[in-house]
Amino acid sequence: MIATLILRLVAASVRRPVLAVLACLALTGVALAYAATSFSMTTDTAALISPKVAWRQNEKAVETAFPNLTDVLLVIVDGKTPELAEAGAAKLTDALAADTKHFRRAERPDGGAYFAKQGLMFGSVAEVKNATDALIKAQPLLGPLARDPSLRGIAGAFGTALMGVEQGAAKLADFDTPMRSLGDALDTTLAGKPAYFSWQELMAAPGSGQAPPRRRLILAQPKLDYGALQPGEDAVAAIDQQAAKLGLDAAHGVSVRTTGEVPLADEEFATLEENIGIVGLIMALAMLVTLWLATRSAKIVAAIVVTIIAGLVITTAAGMLAVHTLNLISVAFIPLFVGLGVDFGIQISVRYNAERLDGHATPEALRRAATALSAPLALAAGAVFLGFGAFLPTDYIGISELGIIAGIGMVIALLLSITLLPALLTLFKPGTPRREVGFREAAPLDRWLHTHRKAVLWAFALSMLVSIALLPFVRFDFNPLHLRNPNGPAMRALADLMHDPLRTPNTINLLAPNADAAKTLATRLAKLPEVDAAVTVDGFVPEDQPQKLALLQDASLLLDATINPFDMAATPSDAENVAALNATAAQLRKVAGSVADKPAQDARRLATLFARLASASPQIRARAHDVLVTPLGVMLDQVRATLQAEPVTRTTLPPEIAGNWVAKDGRALIQVFPRGDSNDNAVLRRFTKAVRTVAPDASGLPVATQEAAGTIAWAFIEAGVLALVLISGLLFIVLRDAREVAFTLAPVVLSGFLTLGSCVLIGQPINFANIIAFPLLFGVGVAFHIYFVMAWRAGATDLLQSSLARAVLFSALATGSAFGSLWLSHHPGTASMGKILMISLAWTLVCALIFEPALLGPPRKTEKA
């Protein structure tokens, strides 16, 4: 029935070619208008898997309770000194929080008023004692510096310290480190080079474990546009603009980088776009050259290209009607449609050329080609339609929607191939081929296959067994980070950040009924050898507070008047700075005398530098002020805040901190960090398994990536089994012979195993991107083998010499050469997809041209009805 309909449509298109072309072009125009106005695409990767699966529901529960965990953009502020990092992070956070156009919120997970005051309390009692002892020891310097934060005050602080040395109350060696550090900064400044000086590092107690950090973090939630290819592009640009406006750049000793799920995703799509023009050009040229080689006619090539373009436009419109919004997987219908649409066009055109070579005019040649190919084309399109439709019941929404669009596309491709293509060929009137359409040169190979049929089948059987034996070694790389360009700025920033186990994004999130339950569960999880830490809201409440507060209160009693002087000195003039520098230089020389030890040498060096600075231009002294005095204010504010530490309980935590860990309904968050290299898949597997043994409802990136891998793998298994059943049923209904059904499907299964075995041998893992190659492999393979089985069934002999073999060969080459250009993409996932497409198409071609003829053997004596 379908074959008869195909014959009638071809005949009608040949009889009234102008009407057929106009009708198809009108339909294409309507589809183009609809697609242009309705086209919508989301880059939200969370939309690729059904929200009904258990792990997605766990994930949704955490995101609903703590929306601050989603769509996070992490800003890394690195400074040459702790003061530069702290000041830069503080200014940038305020700027981002004020930018309500691009950001919903911006906060500092490791800074702000709370950590400025309570930060030291998170160290051990011994570390707090060392830090307070260091501050008390630095009191002779702190007092003058706090009273007069200027070049004059710095010179005066050293003068006061030197008076203690002169009076025997201190030794010059006690100030060797400050003299050497200050001398290094002044030496660099006087040389006209960028110089950086840290009072916090100078005041820190050696070996205290409380070295001030030179890295600060900002967490921001941008307002995203999922209709754009890079939803967070504007937000990242806003950060760059604010950083530039605030002078947070290398010239000022600060670097600002962004990473996190938002910029990483944007960077991935930017990588996809990076050389898409070259890849697209190579793809188009490869397709055109292959079509030319297949048909040897520019007019036929033009007809096929017009048919494919029209089909692609109509399929896009139909896809928008069916799914409304494309996703990152369903958009792959474009290469799938082109690959399979080209096959239909080549099959008809090559057979048309063969009929023309036999002396038939264009209309008759097209009718005869349709008569020969109607049943195989209809069966191939139906089988491919069912193959893609088998993904519909799976939880992998991305591939399910791809199946819907690609399945519809196969029907559209077939309809246009039997209407628009014959009409265009009738109008274009391509010339008669000048030579045989088939491969006469393949006659020896045909004879060899007939003679050595059993040996060929045994060879393929052996290769099948080897491939099956290699299946346990097929590696599925579930880590989405491995699909991204490692040289992208966001990826480089993330790789740097992941060296710190407590800043890795590979953390597991858990919900507990309340904060007490969270604390109990976290204590249990922290004991697991695979866990480095389990953090709850109680992690922001310091331990051993009475002992630490006593130490800080003692230091505050001693230092309060020192760092909070009643009589602040007036801002000095340049002349007063010069006088103070010269006076301290003279004092340094006097105290150092002619002693040859290291402290005396450093004192004389500092004296020389003070004198040089005093005699330099006011501009150089202004630069020295920026290097020395600006960070002094940051350090003094930090000391003041630290000495104001207070008792903290869970209930007195600032709302911006408590709200990130305890939801409004009382449920509490637990964040679990892995021990070891969090970028190692084996480490993540052990970590996830261990945590889920204790807490099965865990969520987070390690759980999501591994569960997604399982969901996707099961979707392909489920769809593969269903497709095999459906296509087998269709083939049996048409062929009515189980043996012929097996002849059609066995090579497809074989090529799939050979592809997986090849991946093992070359070390290519299967990932979220290149797994899309397998539906294409299945669709093309089923079509190719149906053509051969139907020809063999009709009594065809010497298949490799036929026009069918030419059509199959060039169809595979057109698809392979076009998709093989994806291998050139700078995007690792796309490049790996191109690689596997080439491998799978190569095996599909080998199975179609070598294994299938050997498997079929001599044709049946009686042609089946």
Q: What is the pLDDT of residues 444-456, one digit of tens each?
A: 887 888 888 889 8
pLDDT interval class at 587 (50, 70, 90): very high
Return mean pLDDT, the chain: 86
Asked whether the predicted pLDDT for residue 545 surpasses 90, the reply is yes
Beta strand 699-700 with 508-512 is antiparallel
In a domain, 239, yes or no: no
In a domain, 649, yes or no: no
Asked whether the predicted pLDDT for residue 392 surpasses 50, the reply is yes
Q: Provide the domain count of the chain.
A: 1
The residue written with tokens 């010497």 in the block is 798
Quote the CA–CA distance of 545 and 120 in Å, as a whole number: 11
Residue 26: CB atoms within 10 Å: 10
Higher-confidence position of 791 and 673: 673
Q: For the ranges 201-205, 617-621, 853-857, which has the lowest average pLDDT?
A: 201-205
In a domain, 657, yes or no: no
Asked whether the predicted pLDDT for residue 684 surpasses 90, the reply is no
Quote the CA–CA distance of 739 and 72 in Å, as a whole number: 57
Q: Give the per-residue pLDDT at 46.
A: 67
Q: Give the per-residue pLDDT at 149.
A: 93
pTM tops 0.85, yes or no: no
Beta strand 73-79 with 699-700 is unpaired
Largest CA distance in the chain: 121
* Cβ proximity of 504 and 497 under 8 Å: yes
Looking at the chain, the number of H-run helices and the number of E-run strands are 34, 8
Report CA Rg, the chain: 37
* Cβ proximity of 196 and 80 under 8 Å: yes
Residue 862: CB atoms within 10 Å: 7
Crossing angle (nearest 10°) for helices 276-295 and 333-357 = 20
In a domain, 303, yes or no: yes
Q: Give the per-residue pLDDT at 491.
A: 84
The residue written with tokens 């089994």 in the block is 721
b/e code 539-570 from CB counts within 10 Å (16+ = b): bbbbeebeebbebbeebbeebeebbeeeeeee
* Cβ proximity of 747 and 785 under 8 Å: yes
Quote the CA–CA distance of 139 and 9 in Å, as a whole number: 97
Q: Give the per-residue pLDDT at 488.
A: 81
Higher-confidence position of 595 and 428: 428
Quote the CA–CA distance of 738 and 264 in Å, as a whole number: 51
Q: For the ranges 93-97, 533-537, 722-726, which has the lowest average pLDDT?
A: 722-726
Asked whether the predicted pLDDT for residue 865 surpasses 50, the reply is no
What DSSP character marks residue 770?
Answer: G
* Cβ proximity of 775 and 398 under 8 Å: no
Higher-confidence position of 778 and 5: 5
pLDDT interval class at 541 (50, 70, 90): very high
Higher-confidence position of 318 and 819: 318
Residue 575's H or E segment, with its range, is helix 574-592
Q: Give the per-residue pLDDT at 275.
A: 61
The residue written with tokens 């996190």 in the block is 260
pLDDT interval class at 802 (50, 70, 90): confident
Q: Give the per-residue pLDDT at 203.
A: 79
> Residue 477 forms beta bridges with which residues?
none
Output the CA angle 186-188-194, nearest 5 degrees.
115
pLDDT digits (tens, 9 = 90+) for 185-206: 999 999 999 999 998 888 775 5
* Cβ proximity of 640 and 564 under 8 Å: yes
* Cβ proximity of 94 and 242 under 8 Å: no
Q: For the ranges 175-189, 755-769, 826-840, which has the lowest average pLDDT?
A: 826-840
In a domain, 52, yes or no: no
The residue written with tokens 């979707």 in the block is 715
Structural domain of 849: 2-47+269-480+705-856
pLDDT digits (tens, 9 = 90+) for 14-39: 999 999 999 999 999 999 999 888 88
Quote the CA–CA distance of 386 and 397 in Å, as a whole number: 17
* Cβ-based neighbours of 232, under 8 Å, separated by 6 or more: 71, 73, 222, 224, 262, 263, 265, 266
Q: Give the per-residue pLDDT at 210.
A: 58
pLDDT digits (tens, 9 = 90+) for 717-755: 888 888 888 888 988 888 888 888 888 888 888 988 999
- Cα→Cα distances 864→39, 253, 738, 794, Å: 47, 82, 14, 7
Q: Give the per-residue pLDDT at 227.
A: 65
Q: For the ranges 488-497, 783-792, 796-805, which has the lowest average pLDDT?
A: 796-805
Quote the CA–CA distance of 329 and 331 in Å, as a whole number: 5
Q: Is the dihedral of CA 160, 163, 165, 167 positive or negative?
A: negative
The residue written with tokens 């029907």 in the block is 411
In a domain, 733, yes or no: yes
pLDDT interval class at 864 (50, 70, 90): very low
Backbone angles phi, psi at 2, to 5 degrees: -65, -40
Token reading at 68: 């601050």
In a domain, 262, yes or no: no
In a domain, 790, yes or no: yes
In this structure, the dihedral spanned by the alpha carbons of residues 62, 66, 70 and 74, taken in order and rounded to 10 degrees, is: -130
Q: For the ranges 103-107, 258-262, 534-538, which has the lowest average pLDDT?
A: 258-262
